[in-house]
C-alpha cells in the first residue's frame, strides 16, 4: 500500500469515529429526552349568588349618580365588591369600583354611586352612552359568590 493511501484511510477512519462519537454523545441524549408539558392554569370558577337575592340599579334622577340596592343578601355576608363599567360620550370605556362593608345580620343595602370622578370637592361627571354592566362579588363565611347583569338606565 502506498503511503498516501495509508494517510487517506487513517483520515477517513478518524472522521467516521468522530461521526459515531458525536452521534453517541449528542444524538442519543435527544432521543431519550422526554418532553413534558405543563398544564394550562385553570381559572377558579366562582358560583353565582342565589336568585333569591334581589339586585337593582336605577338612576338617581339627576343622571350623574345611580343607586345600587340589594335585598335578601345571604347570611354571613361581610362585604360586597362592586364594579360598574360603561361607555361614555367622550372618554370611551369608564368605570367605578368599590366595596360595601356590611354589619353582622345585614340582609340589605342601598348605595348611591357617582358616575364620574371627584377630587377636592370638584366632580367631573360622565355622560353614559348605552348600558351599564354591573358586577358584584359577595364575600362571607360561605366563600365568594358573583352576580353580573347589564342595565339600561
- What is the predicted pLDDT for the residue at 32? 54
* Structural domain span for residue 91: 54-151
* Confidence (pTM): 0.69
Q: Are residues 66 and 140 in the same domain?
A: yes
Q: What is the C-alpha to C-alpha distance for residues 10 and 70, in angstroms, rounded to an integer?
A: 91
Beta-bridge mates of residue 54: 71
CATH code assigned at 69: 2.60.40.2150
Query: pLDDT tens track of the chain, all 153 residues?
Result: 566 677 777 887 888 888 887 777 776 555 555 666 667 666 778 889 999 999 999 999 788 899 999 999 999 999 999 999 999 988 899 999 999 999 998 999 999 999 988 888 888 889 999 999 999 999 999 999 999 999 998
Domain shared by 62 and 30, yes or no: no
113: which 3 cell numbers?
354611586
Is residue 42 assigned to a domain?
no
Written as nine digits, the cell of 8 is: 487517506
Nearest of 84, 81, 51 to residue 144 by alpha carbon: 81
Is 44 a domain residue?
Answer: no
- What is residue 151's predicted lDDT score, i.e. its pLDDT? 95
pLDDT of the residue at 91: 87
Three-class SS state of 97: strand
What confidence score (pLDDT) does residue 36 get?
A: 66
Let me know whether 63 and 96 are in one domain. yes
115 in a domain, yes or no? yes
Amino acid at each position: 500500500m502506498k503511503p498516501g493511501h495509508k494517510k487517506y484511510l487513517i483520515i477517513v477512519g478518524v472522521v467516521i469515529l468522530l461521526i459515531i462519537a458525536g452521534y453517541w454523545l449528542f444524538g442519543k441524549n435527544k432521543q431519550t429526552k422526554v418532553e413534558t408539558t405543563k398544564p394550562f392554569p385553570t381559572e377558579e370558577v366562582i358560583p353565582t349568588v342565589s336568585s333569591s337575592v334581589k339586585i337593582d340599579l336605577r338612576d338617581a334622577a339627576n343622571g350623574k349618580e345611580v343607586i345600587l340596592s340589594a335585598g335578601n343578601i345571604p347570611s354571613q355576608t361581610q362585604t360586597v365588591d362592586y364594579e360598574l363599567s360603561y361607555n361614555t360620550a367622550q372618554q370611551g370605556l369608564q368605570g367605578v369600583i368599590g366595596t360595601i362593608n356590611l354589619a353582622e345580620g345585614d340582609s340589605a343595602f342601598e348605595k348611591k354611586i357617582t358616575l364620574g370622578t371627584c377630587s377636592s370637592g370638584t366632580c367631573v361627571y360622565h355622560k353614559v352612552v348605552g348600558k351599564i354592566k354591573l358586577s358584584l362579588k359577595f364575600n362571607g363565611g360561605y366563600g365568594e359568590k358573583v352576580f353580573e347583569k347589564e342595565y339600561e338606565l
